[in-house]
Amino acid sequence: MSIEYLHTMVRVADIDAALKFYCDGLGLEQVRRVDSEQGRFTLVFLASPADVKRLGGIAPDANPTQVNIPMVELTYNWDPEAYQGGRNFGHLAYMVDDIYEAVERLAAQGVTINRPPRDGHMAFIRSPDGISVELLQKGERKAPKEPWASAENIGVW
Q: Which residues are catalytic?
A: 134
How far is it, in rounded angstroms, from Cα 103 to Cα 44? 28
- Of the candidates 42, 66, 44, 45, the one whose C-alpha atom is nearest the C-alpha of residue 55 is 66
Tell how far CA 141 is from the center of its chain.
15
Residues 6+ apart with CB under 8 A from 46: 22, 23, 28, 29, 30, 31, 71, 72, 73, 74
How far is it, in rounded angstroms, from Cα 100 to Cα 117? 7
How far is it, in rounded angstroms, from Cα 95 to Cα 70? 12
Q: Confirm if 96 and 135 have CB atoms less than 8 A apart.
A: yes
